[in-house]
Amino acid sequence: MQKFVLAICLLFFGAPAYRNLQAQESPREVCPRPAIGSVVPEPEDLRSKDGVLAVDLTEYNEKQKDGSVRYCYIYGNGVESPNLRVKRGDLVILKLRNNLSDADASAGAASPNHSHAKSEVASQSDPCAGGVMTATSANLHFHGLTIPPLCHQDDVLNTSVQPADTPFEYRFRIPENEPPGLYWYHPHIHGFSKTQVLGGASGALIVEGVERADLAGLPERVLVIRDQDLLNPNSPPSKSEPVVPKMMIDRDGDSANNGTGFGKPAKDLSINFVPVPYPDYPPAVIKMKPGERELWRVLNASAITYLNLAVLFNRAPQKLKIVGLDAVPVSTSGVSKDILAGQTHIGLPPGGRVEFVVEGPPAGVTGLFVTRTVDTGSGGENDPNRALATIVPSPDAAEPRSQLASAPEPLATPALPWLGSIAPTHVRRLYFSEKLSDPNDPNSATTFFITVDGQSPTAFDPASGVPDIVVKQGDVEDWIIENRSTELHAFHIHQLHFMLLESSGVIANEPFLRDTINVPYFNGRTLTYPSVRLRMDFRDPNIVGTFPYHCHLLEHEDNGMMGLIRVLPADSPAVADPLSRASRTQDLSSKPSSKQ
C-alpha cells in the first residue's frame, strides 16, 4: 500500500504539465470528450415532471483518427449521456433513435460471427421480433430496475432497433417499491455490447429518495467511470512506477494481470468522460469546499475493468460511509446501518455501483480519488493502481448541481420480509468456465461459458430462447456459482437483486443486496473451485418472463458467458427441468426460435 501511495503521488506531482499536451476537442465532434486533466463535468440532469420523464436519446458512433470508435447517447442539442432522474411511480417514456453507422462501427465490432439472424430476413418493421443483432443494432438495458422483461420495457433478448427504424419507444413505470439509488442504462446487443460500452454508450439513471437514509440536504455528485482502448498503447510504463513488470497478453488479447499492481493496464479509464490515460495517469480535477460532505454516486460503466476505489488525503486512505450498493440502500434490511460506515476502499466490478459520503479535504490538502489494483487472476486483465482525480479544496468551489431533499418523508417499510430471513426452496449450482477453440493453440479464440451443473457447457445461443433455469414467481433460491477458470468473473442477473451469503467458503451474510458480484478465480491449487453462494429473490411479480444472467465483463458475455432464466407466474403448474443445452441445440436446429 505504501508503495502504491508513493507511486500515485509521484505520478500526480511529477506530471503537472501534462494537461497542456492535449488540445481542446473540436466542438463539431459527434461524441465530444473533455480534455485530459479537465475539471470533472457533471452529466446534465433530466428530471421527471408531473410523474413523467419523457426523453429522446439518439445513439451515435464516430470513428476516430486512431481507429477507435466512440459511441454516445445524445439528448437534444448535444447533451451526452444525461442523468435520468425519476421518482417511484413515475412513467418513463424514452424514445431511442439509432444513428449508428456501419462503416464506423465495423472497425470495432467484436467478431463477424456474432452477426446472427434469428430469421432469414432482417426484421426492419418490428424491433420486438427478435431480428438481427449486428454492429449497428441498438437497444437499452436498464441495469438494476425491477421492471418487466418485456419489449418496450427491459427486454434485451428480442429487442433490436436498426438504423432504418423509426425511433423506438421504451415505456415503463418505476415500481412504487423500487429502492432509491443509482441505476444505469447501456446497450445490450449480444456480440456487440463490449464495443458499444467501451466506446462510451452508457449513462446514469437515478431513483430519487436516498436522502431518507439520513442524508437530507447533502450535495450529490454522479461519477461515471468508463474504460476505453489505451490512448498510448505503445508507451512504456511511467518511470515513476516502482516495478517494471513483464508485459503479457491474456486470452482476450488484453494486457494480462502481472500481479504487481503496476505496468500497462488492459484499458484506460475516464471519469465523466475525462480520460486518465496510461502511462502517467494525469488525474481529472474535482473541486470541493473544504470539509464539505457530499454524496458520491459512482458507477463502474467499464466494459472489462474492475475498480477498487479509495480516497486519499496526505497519502492516507479516508473512511467512506457507504450508503447504497447496486442501487439498494445498505440499511434496507434493517439489520445494521453502520456495517459499511468505515470502509477505506470499495471493490466495484463492471456494472456495479456504490453511493458513499465523502468529506472534502481540509484547506491546503489536495486529496486523490484513485482505483487500487484488483487481482483478476493469472488469466485476467491487468487493472493496476492509478489515479482518477485530484480533489482540490477551495472555498470558491461551485456546489454540485444537484442536492438531496432537505425534508424527506421516511421510506415505507418494505412489503416483503427481508430476503435473508427466507429459507430457500431450491439450491442450484452454476459454474463459469473457458475453453480454447484449439486446445493445442494457446492463441486460438476462447469461448466463455456459464453452465448449470449437469448441463453441457454451451456458448449462449441467441436463436434458442429456451431457458436454462425455470423458477416460479414467489420462489427464493440459493445459487452456488463456481469459477472454474483462472480469471475473475462478475456475475450479474437482470430484473432482480440477490444477497451474498458466502464467498470463497467464507460466510459473508451481507445484510444488503447486490445485482453484480465478483466470483473469485481458480488458482489451480485449491481442492474445490472458488464460489459464491447467493440468495436469489424471485418474489417480485414484476419480473415474470424470460431474461438473462451473465458475466458483466462484456467480452465474456459477448462470447457466450450468458444464460437464460424464465420466471413463471406463481400459479403455473409444477416446473420441469429444462433440457440440457446440448440436446436442446439439436432438437431446435430446424425449428423457429421460441418466444417468451
Residue placing its CB nearer to Cu ion in the complex, 192 or 281: 192
C-alpha to C-alpha distance for 339 and 331, rounded to whole angstroms: 9
From the CB of 250, what's the least distance to Cu ion, in Å?
12
Partners of residue 85 on adjacent β-strands: 47, 206
Residue placing its CB nearer to Cu ion in the complex, 551 or 564: 551
Residue placing its CB nearer to Cu ion in the complex, 556 or 584: 556
Residues 6+ apart with CB under 8 A from 594: 464, 465, 466, 588
> What are residue 58's phi and psi, to 5 degrees?
-120, 130
User: Which SS3 state, helix, strand or coil, does residue 235 take?
Assistant: coil
Residues 6+ apart with CB under 8 A from 81: 43, 72, 73, 200, 202, 203, 204, 224, 273
From the CB of 156, what's the least distance to Cu ion, in Å?
17
- Contact indicator for 531, 504 with CB cutoff of 8 Å: yes
From the CB of 561, what's the least distance to Cu ion, in Å?
6
* Strands of the 531-538 sheet, one edge to the other: 446-452, 426-436, 475-483, 531-538, 498-503, 506-507
From the CB of 489, what's the least distance to Cu ion, in Å?
3
Residue placing its CB nearer to Cu ion in the complex, 346 or 551: 551
Residues of the shown chain interacting with Cu ion in the complex, contacts defined by CB under 5 A: 489, 551, 553, 556
Residue placing its CB nearer to Cu ion in the complex, 524 or 573: 524
C-alpha to C-alpha distance for 351 and 300, rounded to whole angstroms: 5
SS3 percent helix, strand, coil of the chain, rounded to 5, is 10, 35, 55
Residue placing its CB nearer to Cu ion in the complex, 261 or 560: 560
CA dihedral sign of residues 271, 275, 280, 284: negative
From the CB of 574, what's the least distance to Cu ion, in Å?
34
From the CB of 486, what's the least distance to Cu ion, in Å?
12
Helix ranges restricted to H, 57-179: 102-106
Residue placing its CB nearer to Cu ion in the complex, 40 or 517: 517
Rg (alpha carbons) of the chain, rounded to whole number: 23
Residues 6+ apart with CB under 8 A from 66: 231
From the CB of 4, what's the least distance to Cu ion, in Å?
25
From the CB of 556, what's the least distance to Cu ion, in Å?
3
Residue placing its CB nearer to Cu ion in the complex, 63 or 226: 226
